[in-house]
Amino acid sequence: MSDLRSFLERVRTERPTDLIEIDREVDPRFETTAILTKLEAQHRSPILFFKRVRGTAFPLVTNVCGSMGRIAFALGCPLKDVSARYAAAVAAPIKPRVTLEAPVHAHVAVGEGVDLHRLPALVYHEHDSEKPYITAAIAVARDPETGHENLSVHRLMIAGRDTTGLFMEPGKHLDGIFRKFRRAGRAMPIAVFIGAHPAWSLGAVYSGPLEEYGVIGGLLGEPLPVVECITQAGLFVPARAELVLEGVASPDELIDEGAFGEWPGYSTGVTRAPVFRVTAMTMRHQAIFQDVVSGHLEHLTLELPAIEHRALSHARAAAAVTAFSVIAPFTSVVALDKTSEDEPKRVMDALLTTDIQAKHLIVVDADVDIRDLRQVFRAVGLNTQPARDVYVYPDEQGTLLDPSCASAPPRTSKMGIDATRRLRPARPIRPNRVPAGVLDRVDVTELLKRWP
């Protein structure tokens, strides 16, 4: 059965260098972030399993999805096939299976028995709020109009024994569901689960018309066992999650939330967020608390398959797009097999006007390796005339996660760069090439042997 525990055990057995277990006690303020920061500076991104966190009885695991290699391992496919594996799961979703066998209900606390201060919530950066955060919480809510059950990843700021601030990015699905409940004057039932197999996390960040549990099933190749919540009827959570918080988000109770250092590497500052009031906390025997160190490699890596799938779906509806890559926060490159001069602009329109996190887009020809920035910017340098090929979208919906967006709700300008070659160039273009026959007969290895 695929869950966080089984995945960690597989990593211990089959990829032991991908998991570091730390026996000494660590401080929940800054220290886990510092350890991961130093490892990333060495170009290492292992899973970190902290057996002892000061002030709590829970072990803590972080950076589970901190490398694309581990994501491929979790999905049972080669690294190069992750994108195709994700697309296949979306094309053939598998609905969850309701079960009564629920390890996550081994320990149940309700009402006055709920105490969020028991959890190893963390403080990550020096300019963050003094209040600790839960960052690997996958929220479950049901649209009151369509009945669609939505999963999404959210940060929770612990504000009291049974309350948190719930950050919801404007324009995302959970925010839309919450607004429907608020218009009706009703509190939004919500559950969050913590402790997820990588396929659960990858499915939860899917953005599209399907229910995310179906995408998770597609990624696993089998139905995900889910169990109904104890205090929030009609909401279902993975039966083998490590920990679940059930409760409601009030339509008229807001608190100051943040500041918090988000995935682009900057603080979002203080926002006003709904209060999530916890009515039940359930967990497994010897529950493992999962964390995502905000603003580090895992934070972006986890999103990449879903971002790529979403972008390719939009872009391929406009033109023959062959590849997509995120190269920096809010900055992406698309490769296009161009057949007409208006196709790059159509791709820009498809992406920049529909995705709030798409801000800068470079379109290149299909023979450019979009993961090689030298090739990308060579295409920009050689093929682009700024007055002709740079397009500015002056007023689009933005995201609070972009520090350059000052307005609320966030609005932003966006930019597209057409770095494709002209189909009919102004003058002949002859790339520098060595004759193929010469390349074939030159043996560099042999030459270096003669010249030590």
pLDDT tens digit sequence for 249-304: 988 899 999 888 876 667 778 889 999 999 999 999 999 999 998 777 787 788 77
pLDDT at 121: 92
Q: Could you give the C-alpha distances from 235 to 112, 168, 189, 245, in angstroms and in order?
A: 22, 19, 8, 12
* pLDDT class of 200 with cuts at 50, 70, 90: very high
Q: Is residue 438 part of a domain?
A: no
Do both 130 and 212 map to the same domain? yes
Do both 292 and 315 map to the same domain? no
Do both 286 and 309 map to the same domain? no
Q: What is the DSSP string of 384-419?
A: --HHHHEEEEEEEE--TT-TT--SSS-EEEEEEEE-
Place of tokens 């179906």: 214
Rounded Cα gap, residues 59 and 165, in angstroms: 24
Mean pLDDT, the chain, integer: 91
Q: Is residue 439 part of a domain?
A: no
pLDDT at 407: 67
Do both 280 and 343 map to the same domain? no
Which range (17-31, 304-318, 375-389) has the least confidence? Answer: 304-318
- pLDDT of residue 318 exceeding 90, the answer is no
pLDDT in tens, 57-111: 999 999 999 999 999 999 999 988 998 899 999 999 999 999 999 999 999 999 9
pLDDT at 452: 55
For residue 108, what are the domain limits? Answer: 4-301
Do both 17 and 166 map to the same domain? yes
User: Is 270 within 8 Å of 41 (Cβ atoms)?
Assistant: no
User: Is 241 within 8 Å of 99 (Cβ atoms)?
Assistant: no
- pLDDT of residue 24 exceeding 90, the answer is yes
Radius of gyration of the chain (CA): 24
Q: Is residue 429 part of a domain?
A: no
Work out how many domains the chain is built from and give that number: 2
pLDDT in tens, 2-21: 999 999 999 999 999 999 99
119: exposed, middle or buried (Cβ count in 10 Å: 0-12, 13-18, 19+):
buried
Q: Could you give the C-alpha distances from 223 to 103, 124, 297, in angstroms and in order?
A: 17, 35, 29
317: exposed, middle or buried (Cβ count in 10 Å: 0-12, 13-18, 19+):
exposed
Q: Is residue 325 part of a domain?
A: yes
Which range (196-205, 229-238, 346-355) has the least confidence? Answer: 346-355
pTM score of the predicted model: 0.83
pLDDT in tens, 355-391: 888 899 999 999 999 989 999 999 999 999 999 999 9
pLDDT at 293: 87
Q: Is residue 87 part of a domain?
A: yes
Structure tokens given for 8? 């960690």
Do both 325 and 208 map to the same domain? no
User: Is 393 within 8 Å of 415 (Cβ atoms)?
Assistant: yes
pLDDT at 450: 59
User: Is 249 within 8 Å of 279 (Cβ atoms)?
Assistant: no
3-state SS of the chain: helix, strand, coil percent to 5? 30, 30, 40
Q: Which of 195, 361, 161, 186 is nearest to 290 (CA)?
A: 195
Do both 297 and 308 map to the same domain? no
Do both 266 and 231 map to the same domain? yes
Tell me the mean pLDDT in the region 134-154: 95
Rounded Cα gap, residues 268 and 41, in angstroms: 24
Do both 90 and 78 map to the same domain? yes
pLDDT in tens, 279-292: 999 999 999 999 99
